[in-house]
Each structure stands twice: as C-alpha cells, then as structure tokens.
C-alpha cells in the first residue's frame, strides 16, 4: 500500500527527526572513520597526512591483528555456542514447568536488563582472584584461578560474562519456538515409539532450526560488536592480547595507543563485517532455513 501526501514537504518534515539522528550519530562518524582510515595522524592530533592504503597494509601485515581476529572468532563462537546450548536447555526445562512458569521466565529474563558493563563488573567481582567467591571456591578445589595472569582463564571469564547476558535473549526465543510446536506432534512421536531424547532430536530440534540459525547470527553479531563493555570491565583485553577482540582493539589502538589511522582502518573492516552479517541475516534466515 502506498500513501500519497498532497504536499511535498510534509513527508520530509515527518522523516526529519529520524534522518537527523541517523546522519549525526551514524553517517557522520562512520564517514569520519572512513576518511581517517586513509590518514596518518601524529600522536598529539596536531597534523594529519594522507597515506592512502598504508593503514590497511600495515594491519594486514600485523600478526597481532590476525591474533585478534582469531581471538574474536574463538570468543564469538564460544559465546554463541554456549549461549544457545544453555538457553535451549533452560527453555526446554521451563517449557515443562506447569506451575509458576511466569516466575521462572521472569527470573531467566532478568540478566538481559543488566547493562553490559555491570554484567562485567558482576563477574569480575565473583571471579576476583583474591576475594571473589567463585575464585576462592575454585582454589579450594585445587584450581589456581587468576585471570590477570592466565590468558585461558581470562577468556573463560569473558565468555561466561558475555554468555550470561545473552542467555535471556536466546531463552525467550527458544521458549516461544517451543511453545509454537503443536503438542500433538510430540504426542504423535511418543505413540510412534520415540523416547523423550529421540523426540527432542528428531522432531523438536529440527522444528527449532529456524530459531537456532537466527540466534546463531544474532549471537555472533552480539559477541563481535556488543561485548566491549564486558571486556573493558573484566579484563581490559588482557592479560597480554588474550581477550583483545576486534572491537576492543579498535578502542585500544585508537584511544590508548593513539594510532587513530589504524584504529579507523580497523573500524572500516568491522563495518564491512557487519554489512556481510546483516546480508546473511536478512537473506538466509527467511529462505534457507525451512522445513
């Protein structure tokens, strides 16, 4: 359906606030970043010089950048996988609860309302090597927990913190997906002699596959781009480079290292990744995953 307005200016006027917000807060900074990516600035920000693709070529020859890509991929898939698996488990269990389901749902949805930085601080406190209750308990179990020194432990911590926050979101989608599966399908499978485990893997899980794929993309995007706050509050990318994911490196190189050119070039690459993921999300979710 198309709506036609009698006057020309009115539709533009109505669109103006949104267009302004988009222009000022999205297009202009993005444009600046693209521009910066081709310039080299001195550390004090006094002068800048056009260097062409040099920022990019530096990046692509920098082993630290590749290490960061590896870290990001590991981190993102770990968050997506753990988050989806746990959320599915919780959703299946909540779906079975008859009484008090609303209480379970509410409790499970709460973490989503917590700001990323707070989620980070929460887990940072829990895992603080000298005072954190979990760290202390781990020590009593013979595991020497210190994520300030141990890169793998630091990665585990950020994965836990980032996953914890995303589980609520995944849980909601899975629960809705489960409740959309007609009860009679499960009953038919039960009569057909499938054990509860088999029913889940041959009937329920395939029927959830559109939800699962959607969540996979959303979770990857989340882990790639939305976890800055959590990383900053827990490990600040350390120890060493062990939890320095791409978004964190953009910030670290730009605002700590004051290499604005490289930082901008990294932003441009991230923008391209976002673009690709958005295309995948829109193009394949609707069409590819069907039964």
Partner 1 sequence: MAEVILNQVGKTYPNGYQAIPAIDLHIADGEFIVLVGPSGCGKSTLLRMVAGLESISSGELLINNQRMNEKEPAERDIAMVFQNYALYPHMTVFDNMAYGLRNRGASKDEIQRKVSDSARLLGLTDLLERKPKQLSGGQRQRVAMGRAMVRHPQAFLFDEPLSNLDAKLRVQMRVEIRQLQRQLGTTTLYVTHDQVEAMTLADRLVVLNKGHAEQIGSPLELYERPATTFVAEFIGSPSMNLLPVSITDQGLQLTEQVSLQADTKERGAVIWGIRPEHLQPCSESEADFALQVKAVEALGAESLIYGHTAGRSELLVVRAPGPFTPAIDQMLYLRAPQQQWHLFDINTQQRI
Query: Which residues in this chain contact partner 1 in the complex, by CB under 8 A?
Result: 182, 184-185, 187-194, 198, 202-203, 206-207, 209, 291
Nearest-approach distance from CB 83 to partner 1, in angstroms: 24
The smaller minimum CB distance to partner 1, of residues 206 and 240, is found at 206
Question: What is the sign of the dihedral through the CA atoms of 222, 226, 229 and 231?
Answer: positive
Q: Label residue 228 left, alpha or beta by phi (over 0 means left) and psi (-120 to 50 means alpha).
A: alpha
Which segments within 75-117 are labelled E, that is strand? none
How many CB atoms within 10 Å of residue 31?
Answer: 11
Measured from the CB atom, the residue of 42 and 192 that comes closer to partner 1 is: 192
Instruction: Please report how close the Cβ of residue 12 comes to partner 1 at its closest, in angstroms.
Output: 44
Least Å distance, CB 206 to partner 1, is 5
Whose Cβ is closer to partner 1: residue 61's or residue 287's? Answer: 287
Give me 212's structure tokens: 């699962």
* 140 vs 184, beta carbon nearer partner 1: 184
**Contact criterion met (CB below 8 Å) for 262 and 174:** no
Q: Are 221 and 274 in contact (CB under 8 A)?
A: yes
CB of 291 to partner 1, least distance (A): 3
Looking at the Cβ atoms of 31 and 196, the one nearer to partner 1 is 196
Write down the least CB distance from residue 88 to partner 1, Å. Answer: 17
| Of residues 241, 67, 234, the one with CA closest to residue 151 | 241
């Amino acid at each position: 359906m198309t709506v036609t307005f009698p006057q020309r200016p009115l539709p533009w006027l109505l669109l103006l606030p949104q267009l302004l917000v988009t222009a000022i807060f999205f297009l202009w900074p993005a444009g600046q970043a693209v521009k910066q990516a081709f310039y080299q600035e001195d550390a004090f920000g006094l002068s800048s010089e056009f260097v062409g693709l040099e920022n990019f070529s530096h990046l692509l020859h920098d082993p630290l950048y590749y290490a960061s890509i590896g870290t990001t991929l590991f981190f993102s898939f770990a968050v997506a996988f753990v988050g989806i698996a746990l959320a599915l488990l919780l959703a299946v269990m909540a779906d079975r609860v008859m009484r008090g389901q609303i209480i379970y749902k509410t409790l499970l949805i709460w973490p989503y309302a917590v700001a990323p930085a707070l989620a980070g601080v929460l887990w940072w406190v829990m895992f603080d090597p000298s005072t954190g209750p979990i760290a202390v308990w781990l020590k009593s179990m013979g595991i020497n927990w210190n994520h300030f020194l141990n890169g793998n432990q630091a990665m585990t911590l950020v994965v836990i913190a980032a996953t914890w926050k995303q589980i609520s979101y995944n849980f909601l989608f899975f629960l809705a997906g489960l409740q959309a599966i007609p009860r009679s399908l499960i009953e038919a499978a039960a009569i057909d002699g499938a054990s509860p485990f088999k029913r889940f893997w041959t009937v329920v899980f395939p029927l959830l596959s559109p939800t699962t794929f959607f969540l996979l993309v959303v979770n990857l995007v989340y882990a790639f781009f939305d976890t800055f706050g959590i990383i900053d509050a827990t490990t600040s990318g350390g120890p060493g480079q062990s939890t320095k994911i791409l978004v964190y490196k953009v910030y670290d190189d730009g605002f700590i290292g004051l290499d604005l050119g490289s930082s901008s070039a990294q932003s441009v690459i991230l923008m391209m990744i976002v673009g690709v993921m958005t295309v995948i999300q829109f193009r394949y979710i609707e069409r590819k995953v069907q039964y």
